[in-house]
Amino acid sequence: MNFGYLILIGIISLFSWLVSSKLKSKFEFYSKVQLRNGMSGKEIAEKMLADNGIRDVKVISVAGRLTDHYNPSDKTVNLSEAVYNQRNAAAAAVAAHECGHAVQHAQAYSWLTMRSKMVPLVSISSKLSQWVVIGGLILMAVNSFGIYVATAGLVLMAIATAFSFVTLPVEYDASNRALAWLKNKNMLTQQEYVGAEDALKWAARTYLVAALGALASLLYWAFQVLGRRD
């Protein structure tokens, strides 16, 4: 089981590295495709929000690279400095994607609502789950109480894993909303749109890899606990 798990993790890690590398190269490439309309990421975001009737969300710039996100607690679309200021296909894709989350929030998109409710619990479970499982396994060598501790750890780990999979429809839907708006409003030329679509496709794959990695880890520790119990 351990050897098989190491092979699985190795494959997932390799795939994750390949997807991450591909994503970076895609964004670098599409960052060179300048928008014919001359709009910056900030302007793209503000227009998408306005077109969807959202007037209580602010578009702000944040430091860092690939730090773009939507914060539902204070209703802000946070764009990295490059995306906020630049006027290219990659910036347009990211800005529109983050606004896709704002539209989800405004329309009470069920998967986003579920994900938001899970955040407080996941912030705890993701940090403690593995340690609780390991502690339970150690206790199992001493007495039967350890199985309950290890099982509790697995439950916490399962919550974090479920969160990873709930994130998938949220991210894919945000990209679909972004691309639909970019196309329907004729914001981009055909070449620019193809670039935005390709960039978001690779970005979504990073979430898929993360979810598969979380599932593999959960299965590994579950087999460890079940094997010790037998």
45 closest CA partner among 36, 35, 54, 37: 54
Active site residues: 98
200 closest CA partner among 95, 85, 76, 62: 95
Domain segments of the chain as ranges: 2-229
111 closest CA partner among 189, 169, 53, 44: 169
Residues of the chain with pLDDT under 50: none
Task: Say which residues have a Cβ less than 8 Å from residue 166's Cβ, sequence separation at least 6.
Answer: 111, 114, 115, 118
Please tell me the distance from the alpha carbon of residue 138 to that of residue 140, in angstroms, as a whole number. 5
Q: Which two tokens stand for residue 4?
A: 């098989």
Please tell me the distance from the alpha carbon of residue 94 to that of residue 88, in angstroms, as a whole number. 10
Q: Which two tokens stand for residue 52?
A: 């969807």
Residue 224 is predicted with a pLDDT of 87
Residue 1 is predicted with a pLDDT of 52
| Strands 58-62, 76-80: pairing kind | parallel
Amino acid at 201: K
Show the DSSP H helices in the chain as ranges: 2-30, 41-51, 81-85, 89-106, 110-140, 146-184, 190-229
What 3-state DSSP class applies to 90? helix
pLDDT tens per residue across span 78-119: 999 999 999 999 999 999 999 999 999 999 999 999 999 999
Exposed, middle or buried, 80 (CB in 10 Å: 0-12/13-18/19+)?
buried
Size of the chain in residues: 230
Residue 229 is predicted with a pLDDT of 62
CB distance 48 to 91 below 8 Å? no
Please tell me the distance from the alpha carbon of residue 174 to that of residue 201, in angstroms, as a whole number. 11
CB distance 128 to 206 below 8 Å? no
